[in-house]
A = this chain, B = another copy of it.
Amino acid sequence: EGKLIIFSVLSAKAIRDYIYTFVSRTNTCGELRSAHVGQKVTLYGWVQYQRQGLFLVLRDFHGLTQVIIPQDEVSGHSHVKELLSNAPVESVVRVTGTVSPRPLGQQNPKMPTGDIEVKAETAEILNSCKKLPFEIKDFIKKSEALRMQYRYLDLRSSRLQANLRLRSGVVMRMREYLCNLHGEGLLAGAKEFLVPSREAGKFYSLPQSPQQFKQLLMIGGLDRYFQVARCYRDEGSRPDRQPEFTQIDIEMSFVDQAGIQRLIEGLLQHSWPEDRGSIVTPFPSMTYEEALAEYGTDKPDTRFGMKIVDISDVLRGSNIHFVQNALSYPHGSIRAICIPQGMRYLTNKDLESLKESAKSQFNQCSALGALRLLSADLLEAAGLTLRDPTAFHFLWVVDFPLFLPKAENPTELESAHHPFTAPHPSDASLLYSDPTKVRSQHYDLVLNGNEVGGGSIRIHSAEQQRFVLEKVLKEDSEVLSHLIEALEFGAPPHGGIALGLDRLISLIVDAPSIRDVIAFPKSFRGRDLMGNAPDYVTPEELEPYHIQVSWPLEEKEAKKN
């Protein structure tokens, strides 16, 4: 009871056993050094390249080793020469031979195994490779569609291998940090992606996030929960979104906003890859109001300045007509960003594109935020470095409004995040008098201008939850009756957070897309170009699920009649 799990450290022997005992190789391709000279070794790997029947470079997940093809007439050697000289690039081979020092002057200091080579004695082609659709080299440009179609070849690139290796390491260290928690094992909940069941007309839905279930776990007395949760979200054709994604999902009882924030800071510090520098905690914090006023966005990139400033007072005495006009409105103001060295770096064409951007967002409060980012892009394109890609600026954004006016009908309110978010303690009474003024206990974690996480302290009072749903949001609370009922059975105060793992990892490795940190991503349009999903199914396959396809054409014809 209450015993902590202390991580056992695997012995060096156990680790060696783990890597070698279970497979038939004696060493990996990344391992041999001068100390191994004279040893007989068996390597397995792919033919990276081969030169004139003299040598080849063998590659596996762990590195590269140079293999010398025998040229003498010793028995069996001509067979080995024949095999290795003719093995197509990317074929899989087994090579047994002796580790030898490379001749003087031929060492390669850039290659970890560059001091040695393996003199092949026997060899076997385990699988020959047919002509590749593209060369597996990072610098070779290939279309995204082709890369997706042959994802298993793309995965052999050193860049993707490094990305997935880093992802695995970060997640493991996150688990180490979190593993005193308990409560794996849940799934399902939320809305979207429907799954037809065998009961006519009844559907499951795939979890957008385990929001309700993690709250129910707290009500179930589990105290703390974390999960690396696979979630599903149907965002239609929104680009660079994945219909399935991964989040580090956390929930705790008896916790406040600061507690969750300190936990996440500790978690990220513990799991941060060593070679990406260290991160400083606690992370700075900014209110939603400040973020909008100074950066024109709720996810400010704080790696550079160029903040928005209010110059209304400076201009109040001016007699410029449009300025006076703007200031005559209630809450009317004149705001600006100062672009240092703009005169020097921005061309007339740049200024034109800034004007265009401003015009296209006329009257939108986010216009200056977008202008700020566009200015940074333009300055960087002109050679100035504003945003250090190796710098990681984390930021908490807090004190979001609890409710926002609905876009389609501003007299009605909707939740700024979700209806389970608790009001800010100082604003709790406003909930009943002026809900539009209530700030929430929601917090976002922002990294270099990207939202990488978000969470909140939840409502734990059934009465308050019912009030929010019925009186403020005017929603039918019946759908959530099981959650509200659960709150009545001694729900503890609780809160949580979810980190978007795919986005976080892609920022750490500076990948242009989250598809570069997912082994088998879906394409831009949610398609699996390799396995060809989604795909047609036969009416017979749909029968047990009591559904049929409504073909758009048929619909049109039906309407005609």
Inside 8 A of A186's CB, which chain B residues have their CB? 518-520
Would B161 and A7 count as touching, CB distance under 8 A? no
**Who on chain B is nearest to A217 by CB?**
B519
A53 within 8 Å of B (CB atoms): no
Would B62 and A1 count as touching, CB distance under 8 A? yes
Would A491 and B195 count as touching, CB distance under 8 A? no
Given contacts A185-B164, A185-B519, A489-B132, contact A548 B550 (CB under 8 A): yes
Inside 8 A of A230's CB, which chain B residues have their CB? 187, 230
Inside 8 A of A289's CB, which chain B residues have their CB? none
CB distance from A237 to the nearest CB of B (A): 8
A520's partner among B15, B180, B187 (CB-CB below 8 A) is: B187
In the docked arrangement, what's the CA distance between A127 and B493, Å? 8
Interface size on A, residues (CB 8 A): 151
Q: Scoring A residues 101 to 130 as 1 if CB is less than 8 Å from chain B, else 0, what string do you get?
A: 000000000001000000000000011111
A194's partner among B234, B259, B491, B545 (CB-CB below 8 A) is: B545
A329 within 8 Å of B (CB atoms): no
Inside 8 A of A129's CB, which chain B residues have their CB? 488-490
A268 within 8 Å of B (CB atoms): no
CB distance from A529 to the nearest CB of B (A): 9
Inside 8 A of A532's CB, which chain B residues have their CB? 482
In the docked arrangement, what's the CA distance between A130 and B67, Å? 74
A205 within 8 Å of B (CB atoms): yes
CB distance from A152 to the nearest CB of B (A): 4
Would A254 and B4 count as touching, CB distance under 8 A? no
Would B167 and A461 count as touching, CB distance under 8 A? no
Would B545 and A548 count as touching, CB distance under 8 A? no
Within 8 A of B (CB), among A155-171: 155-156, 161, 164-165, 167-169, 171
Among A197, A230, A517: residue with most chain B CB under 10 A: A197
Inside 8 A of A188's CB, which chain B residues have their CB? 244, 520, 528, 531, 533
A4's partner among B15, B184, B256, B490 (CB-CB below 8 A) is: B15
Q: Scoring A residues 200 to 236 as 1 if CB is less than 8 Å from chain B, else 0, what string do you get?
A: 1111111000001100110111111000101000101
A176's partner among B8, B63, B200 (CB-CB below 8 A) is: B8
Would A193 and B194 count as touching, CB distance under 8 A? no
Would B200 and A550 count as touching, CB distance under 8 A? yes
Q: How many copies does the complex hold?
A: 2
**Who on chain B is nearest to A111 by CB?**
B1
Q: Scoring A residues 84 to 113 as 1 if CB is less than 8 Å from chain B, else 0, what string do you get?
A: 000010111000000000000000000010
A60 within 8 Å of B (CB atoms): yes
In the docked arrangement, what's the CA distance between A223 and B230, Å? 23
Within 8 A of B (CB), among A508-561: 517-520, 526, 528, 530-537, 541-552
A263 within 8 Å of B (CB atoms): yes
**Who on chain B is nearest to A15 by CB?**
B4
Inside 8 A of A194's CB, which chain B residues have their CB? 195-196, 537, 541-542, 545
A23 within 8 Å of B (CB atoms): yes
Inside 8 A of A491's CB, which chain B residues have their CB? 92, 127
Given contacts A127-B490, A200-B549, contact A5 B172 (CB under 8 A): yes
Would A152 and B217 count as touching, CB distance under 8 A? yes
